[in-house]
Structure 1
Amino acid sequence: MIETVQTPTLTIAYEQHGPENGAAVILLHGFPYSARAYDEVAPALAAQGYRVIVPYLRGYGPTRFNNEQTLRSGQQAAIAQDLLDLMDALGIEQTMLCGYDWGGRAACIIAALFPARVSGLVTGDGYLLQDIAHANQPLDPEDEHRLWYQYYFHTPRGAEGLKQNRRELCQLLWRLWSPTWSRRDERYPLTASAFDNPDFVDVAIHSYRHRFGYASGDPALKWMEEAIASQPAISVPTISLCGADDGVGPPSVIDEDAEHFSGFYERRVLAGVGHNIPEEAPQQTIKAILELLQR
């Protein structure tokens, strides 16, 4: 059942599993995904007595902005602030966080800036804080090729393309990013309706423009972006799950993110798994979360 809670900026829709008095676990999806990514993960954790919260990010599903005048920002600090506001609104002082893509970025930011609020972190693909100051340095051509959709979104044509063809475009990204996942076409329709949110396009376009310095951020979040710019280390216990078949961000042979973690940290590369980690590899995701919860 979908519930909602009001924060200063959003009315956040979320799904809750397990007892209210259980230790909290928040599971965060990315772009272009939804709460459906955790359909096998959330009930398994709830069955062990944890209070599991699976929110819809801004621009997805039933989540809505409270004010028409609010900037439809998709910048990393906005997604992180939403997570912090959600925790406050639900009375969660400390939580286990699991996320990938946009949701993983929010989880990493809160773990880095507010470590006392985070008991452990399972992140998809390591350290996800954007280094915007250096975002326009060219990458290896293979990596640049994988980011074609981001450059497309920098243009008016790309924004209109996402608006007119959001389901087809996002389905293409699913196919490219999870090329070996046998359940991809079966699962996609369950998530696609989340993209009908009236703010989906504006939030997504702003996200991919802001991270390259092509769109201004929310002035109220300047302090957080400045804190992120220092690329702070993450000290909370962390397991990084990486899909070996990830079509947008395949894991490097050498773990280049390890230096950003100052506490317990382990990277696990998952064979046969693409970008949509919790939905493609629910058992490995559950295992990692429980290991950190039971440390």
Structure 2
Amino acid sequence: MKSVCAGCLEIYYEELGPADGDPVILLHGFPYDVRAFDAVSTRLTERGYRCLMPYLRGYGPTRFRFPDAMRSGQQGAIGADLLALMDALSLKSAFLGGYDWGGRAACIVSALWPERVRGLVSCGQGYNIQDIARACEPAPAVEEARYWYMYYFHTERGRAGLTQNRRDICRHIWSLWSPSWQFADATWEATAPSFDNQDFVEIVLHSYRHRFGGILGDPQYDDIEAQLAQKPKITVPTIVLQGRDDGVDPPFEDDFDQPNFTGFYDRRIIDATGHNLPQEAPEAFATAMLDLMEIA
């Protein structure tokens, strides 16, 4: 375990592989942590790559450096965190791979600072940048039902529930989002302590309330949010992975993400895999990353 001061955070991260290897940053989502990339990082380091796996804000040992900093979970914040981490580690560029919140951070840096990204593996929503201006437009009922947790987190009952029952809620989400993944108790127990972070609840609540436009963001990210509102294209080489059994964001037959990418682009749907794709199908994720590295 290492840490570095990056922007408003002290980011803790795990690092594997040779110090002089090409850097790969692997980014987890909600509600998961760096354990999602254990098998992936082993495969990549065997090929000589340097893997960096940070705990996102609100997870594990990552902490705010300043007590009065806003506990924001908005997309602009997690994108800025990734860029700050790269700056703090003097990484001029890196390969990025992630899913859920981590995939969003990777997409944001790829879209706004493409010179810093050699290639992108994005799971689930391939173009994982929120369209906040349209966030309140209703979706089909089956899709709205999958978003129960978002609506729950808008309520004070949801705040109390996440505070008191965070492990129960998060484990239930694991089961719903990855119905074909029979994870062991030990697998869950290896990640669950990351949700004990003192800022976890506030950051999760802010993330889901902000994305619907119902709460203000941190002003320091206003410029980033304004750029993201323009739906910038992603120009870096990209492979999108989607789990066929994803319980929250199942793939459509038509690829609606592709128009948002202007460089090399490939989409792969992985059978018998849900939302936590790197941990459920590490071979598929590692293969996509290695394929991308040959292209980039």
TM-score w.r.t. structure 2 length? Answer: 0.98
Deviation beyond 3 Å, 4+ runs, structure 1: none
Flag structure 2 segments of 5+ consecutive residues without an equivalent: none
Deviations 1:6-33 (A, max 9, x none): 1120000000011111111000000000
Q: Tell me which residue corresponds to 2:52.
A: 53
Flag structure 1 segments of 5+ consecutive residues without an equivalent: none
SS where residue 224 of structure 2 aligns? helix
Q: Tell me which residue corresponds to 2:217.
A: 217
Q: Tell me which residue corresponds to 1:44.
A: 43
Q: Is the 8 A contact 2:12 2:62 kept in 1?
A: yes
Q: Tell me which residue corresponds to 2:114.
A: 115
Q: Tell me which residue corresponds to 2:181.
A: 181
Tell me how far apart the structure 1 counterparts of residues 185 and 249 of structure 2 sit (CA, whole Å): 21
Q: Tell me which residue corresponds to 1:268.
A: 268
Q: Tell me which residue corresponds to 2:61.
A: 62
SS where residue 294 of structure 1 aligns? helix
Q: Tell me which residue corresponds to 1:101.
A: 100
> Which moves more between the two structures, 5-14 or 180-189?
180-189
Q: Is the 8 A contact 1:27 1:97 kept in 2?
A: yes
Deviation, 1:184, is: 5.3
Deviation, 1:51, is: 1.1
SS where residue 99 of structure 1 aligns? strand
Deviation, 1:186, is: 4.2
Deviation, 1:48, is: 1.2
SS where residue 40 of structure 1 aligns? helix
Count of aligned pairs: 294
For the aligned residue pairs, the C-alpha RMSD in angstroms reads 0.7
Q: Tell me which residue corresponds to 1:229.
A: 229
Q: Is the 8 A contact 2:7 2:81 kept in 1?
A: no
Deviations 1:103-148 (A, max 9, x none): 0000001001111100000001210000000000000111000000
Q: Which amino acid aligns with 1:228?
A: L
Deviation, 1:183, is: 2.2
Q: Tell me which residue corresponds to 2:284.
A: 284
Q: Which amino acid aligns with 1:238?
A: T
Deviation, 1:265, is: 0.5
Tell me how far apart the structure 2 counterparts of residues 262 and 25 of structure 1 sit (CA, whole Å): 22
Q: Is the 8 A contact 2:107 2:234 kept in 1?
A: yes
Deviation, 1:152, is: 0.3
Question: How much identity, in percent, do the aligned residues show?
Answer: 53
Tell me how far apart the structure 1 counterparts of residues 148 and 256 of structure 2 sit (CA, whole Å): 23
Q: Tell me which residue corresponds to 1:86.
A: 85
Is 1:130 aligned with 2:130? yes
Tell me how far apart the structure 2 counterparts of residues 267 and 47 of structure 1 sit (CA, whole Å): 25
Q: Which amino acid aligns with 1:277?
A: L
